[in-house]
Structure 1
Amino acid sequence: MSYFTIAGVQMHALHHGDNTEAMRHRIDVLMSRFPQVQMVLFSELMPLGASPHHAQPMPSHAEAMFCHLAEKHRIWLIPGSMFEQAGDAIYNTLSVINPRGEVVTRYRKMFPFRPYEAGVESGEEFVVFDVPQVGRFGVSICYDMWFPETTRTLAAMGAEVILHPTMTDTIDRDIELSIARTNAAVNQCYFFDINGAGAIGNGRSIVVGPSGDVIHQAGTGEEIMPVEVDLSRVRRERETGLRGLGQPLKSFRDRRVDFTLYRHEGGSSPFLDTLGPLEKPQRTNLEEY
């Protein structure tokens, strides 16, 4: 089976607070209205808001509630992400739950939005998972997609669909829309970039096809986006090229160039080391002028 229906959910929520009951209601309504949906994806930090002070060890009570909902509706469920307390460390962590209500994997965001997402540690493992008889899916979170190595690695691991919850309430959302299209095109995969609305995001979620084509772009308000993907399209375009033209994954595989940058410790270079510390910009002191 190559057809599979994924519903992205863009909803209003509290920036600091428990949104799990609102998410429960949204899933119940969604599945009543669109029973064909097989997977539901929410935006980053939707369940418990954007404060690391709400971090919980995993498994948690919130995660258990989502496991019950996935089993109840027999859906794959990615309820955005939550701050995870792991010893003294805090991670921005996404859970993947199958239709039996089981957590099949968790992913820790590799690139916290530093310096703004201070105090959050970086994950170290890429995560893909298989939906039996359908295909392979990869996950990343928000700022991860600004680093092309993350999506390229997931594609090299066989991911045909990238599920990407984000929480963007800033003026760079239009740039992220371009990045989502680019990631889909250069890796020849579907890309679901689902944002929050209101206090927890400025919306404009986007679903992109493997040719970089926009399948749907949401507005700024609440929206449910059920989209049927065709994994045979990914496989065909990876075989014959984007619109019968470029075959970037094969070209990357067959490259002769060795990217020496990645042999430097930490991925640095003499030039990058001149850029200064990673910190918030400071106000200009007008008395100096």
Structure 2
Amino acid sequence: MTQPPLSADLAIAAIQQQCSVDKDTSLATSERLIRQAAADGAQLVVLQELHATLYFCQTEDTSVFELAEPIPGPTSRRLSALAAELGIVLVGSIFERRMNGVYHNTAVVFERDGTIAGLYRKMHIPDDPGFYEKFYFTPGDASFNDGRNGFTPIDTSVGRLGVLVCWDQWYPEAARLMALAGAEVLIYPTAIGWDVTDDPEEQARQLDAWVTVQRGHAVANNLPVIAPNRVGTEPDPSGSSDGIRFWGNSFICGPQGEFLARADDHSETLLSATINRSRSESIRRIWPYFRDRRIDAYGDILKRVRD
């Protein structure tokens, strides 16, 4: 069946929540906010990174792999049923068990009928104090995208979604590749926060950098950005640090980086906004970055270091 033409306006929602050690509790919070978003008219709802669990990457612990699930699996089936019941496109996040020894940090996009429109497996994997993700996650590949580049948008009934995950948000290459492949919006489910021992000035600099780089991707690619992040302080299970205070500040911005909605640093929040699809096209006509790209001069971008 041919899809009807997409309307110019798209109602979107991003969910900022605190997570629990218990999956059912976390997912119940997600479900309550998803239902509220749908009741408010959202057509596209985006959840934060690893929203079903605490952020377990503060330590390296092999028992944590028991949290991983296949896709389809319990969490994906629950989100699938919710998308179908509410008639929304839903972006969720799952600690995916792909096979013995291969696990991914995976964003799953569910269509309005509950089918899986596509997967995005996190490509850039950090390994920093308190964020030991390389211990848990294999970098993504192109296996779900018909052999195409891993940075491939996912086609849905509400448009072509450029889904990335957290650490990917610091890389202009990822955003640009999604834009070049026709993404109509950039989406960054996130779990990022402060070392609680950092001084307030350093915390402010980190938060400002996080917001600025993503708004920069919006500006450089003339695309809206949806960036939901978690809130709450989560202890370090090992006791070797004071844990992480997740800084929230989830936001939705337009294709010139303008804020359409923004959350605070501590509240459970449902952000809502309406984006106009035609704005990216009109902005690209007067700010023609893509026309003026010097692709003949960018070969060295594929080198680790320019000598």
1:118 corresponds in structure 2 to 134
Q: Quick check: 1:84 aligned with 2:84?
A: no
Provide Cα deviations, 1:239-283, integer angstroms capped at 9, x if missing partner: 222xxxxx222222x543133240x4xxx2277xxxxxxxxxxxx
**Matched position secondary structure for 2:33:** helix
Provide Cα deviations, 1:5-59, integer angstroms capped at 9, x if missing partner: 0101111222x43111221222223333x1x210111110002332353111211
Provide Cα deviations, 1:142-169, integer angstroms capped at 9, x if missing partner: 0101111000000000112011110011
Matches within 5 A, 1:42-53: 42-51=47-56, 52-53=64-65
2:274 corresponds in structure 1 to 228
Matches within 5 A, 1:166-185: 166-170=190-194, 171=203, 172-185=206-219
2:45 corresponds in structure 1 to 40
How far off is 1:225 after superposition?
A: 1.0
1:238 corresponds in structure 2 to 284
Q: Quick check: 1:6 aligned with 2:30?
A: no
Contact 2:18-2:232 within 8 A present in 1 as well: yes
Provide Cα deviations, 1:162-197, integer angstroms capped at 9, x if missing partner: 111100112423211000110100011001111111
**Matched position secondary structure for 2:90:** strand
Counterpart of 1:61 (choices 67, 74, 77) is 74
2:182 corresponds in structure 1 to 158
| Matched residue type, 1:248 | Y
2:84 corresponds in structure 1 to 71
Report percent identity of matched pairs. Answer: 25
Counterpart of 1:199 (choices 227, 233, 240) is 233
What RMSD over aligned residues (CA atoms) do the two structures have, in Å? 1.7
**Matched position secondary structure for 2:272:** strand
TM-score, normalising length: structure 2: 0.79
Q: Which stretches of structure 1, 4 residues or more, deviate above 6 A after TM superposition?
A: none
1:286 corresponds in structure 2 to none
| Matched residue type, 1:218 | A
Bigger Cα displacement from structure 2, 107-116 vs 93-102: 107-116
CA distance in 2, matches of 1:159, 1:190: 10
1:218 corresponds in structure 2 to 263
1:244 corresponds in structure 2 to none
Bigger Cα displacement from structure 2, 138-147 vs 205-214: 205-214
Contact 2:170-2:214 within 8 A present in 1 as well: no
Bigger Cα displacement from structure 2, 46-55 vs 227-236: 46-55
TM-score, normalising length: structure 1: 0.83
| Matched residue type, 2:188 | H
